[in-house]
Amino acid sequence: MGQSLFMQNIIACIWDFDKTLIPGYMQAPLFAHYNVDEKQFWAEVARLPQTYRESGLDMISSDTVYLNHLLTYVASGIFGGLNNRLLRELGAKLEFYPGLPGFFEKLRSTIHEQSQFARHDIRVEHYIISTGLRQMILGSRIAPFIDGVWGCEFVETPPSPDYLRMDGPSPAETPERPISQMAYVLDNTTKTRAIFEINKGSNKVPGIDVNATMPEADRRIPIRHMIYVADGPSDVPVFSVLNRFGGRTFAVYRAGSDEEFSQVNQLQKQGRVQSFGEANYQEGSQTSMWLKNAVTEIAEQMVRHREATLGERVGKPPTHLNS
């Protein structure tokens, strides 16, 4: 039997961002910085799909249409000088739900500090998959605690036509300029691609294409070793993938919000999530206890599987025969 590509000893805790780790939308510090009416911006975004259809378009991505409108604000001078550096600086102003970001490390230590798991080198990794702005997440207080971020990215200086044949500095060497194009876009459905990149290890080994055929035994993190935490119906595609392949799903709501409670309660009734709780990650909260229990259960399953496999592959030693 050939050696597996990965040890499959990692538990992946995968997080949505807006309304999951923070109470609102991450763009709030951006609007405050430029003194822009946040409600007006989102009202304009909500109306954009209909406006585009009225102009003759049929295919419109409503999940990410806000990115185009953000670039329109930059081009018009309302978000003058907005670049990736400023997005990271604004990310530092984000306020997180109670218990964060420290809970990420506590979840790791739940496994790391138990000898039965340490003996098998079982570890926890944290990933964020968001339709929001990746640079803001990377600039936030939670960045040192995460192992990877999927989010929307902007280009500051697009290469000019025929740039490969032109002399002069490359786009990477040019001074900072305002963002002008989208480099990477993630919507609620393509979040599932990130799940399979984590699953196959494409995020750790660039030579592994996410679309390549790969046996389950060779994948870095089986989906049954994943937990996905998010806040609402927009996360149903990812919830569905994890539920289908044996992962864990959990929804959170803002304390005191009847609307958000009703939303996640409905998700559980529909079988979209396995459980839900308040977006409170402090020690002793129902959410923190459920997540700690989930990583512990997954780790215990991993130990049982590894020890059973060891018993199957290692023969018994020879013994003396009694006369």
> Residue 302 contacts by C-beta under 8 Å, 6 or more apart in sequence?
8, 9, 11, 120, 122, 225
Least confident of 4-8, 12-16, 189-193, 294-298: 4-8
pLDDT at 174: 67
All domains of the chain in start order, with CATH? 10-313 (3.40.50.1000)
Query: At residue 123, what are phi and psi to the nearest 5 degrees?
Result: -135, 160
Asked if residue 1 has pLDDT above 50, the reply is no
Residues 198 and 127 sit within 8 Å (Cβ to Cβ)? yes
Cα–Cα distance for residue pair 137/128, rounded to 1 Å: 9
CA 20 to chain centre: 11
Least confident of 44-48, 144-148, 301-305, 314-318: 314-318
Mean pLDDT (whole number) for 9-31:
97
Mean pLDDT (whole number) for 305-312:
72
Is the whole-model pTM more than 0.75?
yes
Cα–Cα distance for residue pair 150/191, rounded to 1 Å: 8
Nearest to 274 by CA among 246, 254, 234: 246
**The tokens 């249409």 sit on which residue?**
65
Instruction: Give the pLDDT band (50/70/90) at residue 135.
Output: very high
> Residue 108 contacts by C-beta under 8 Å, 6 or more apart in sequence?
123, 124, 126
**The tokens 């929307």 sit on which residue?**
152
Asked if residue 323 has pLDDT above 60, the reply is no
pLDDT in tens, 276-295: 999 999 999 999 999 999 99
| First CA to last CA distance, the chain | 37
Instruction: Give the pLDDT band (50/70/90) at residue 310.
Output: low
pLDDT at 167: 72
35 versus 319: the higher-pLDDT residue is 35
pLDDT in tens, 104-121: 999 999 999 999 999 999
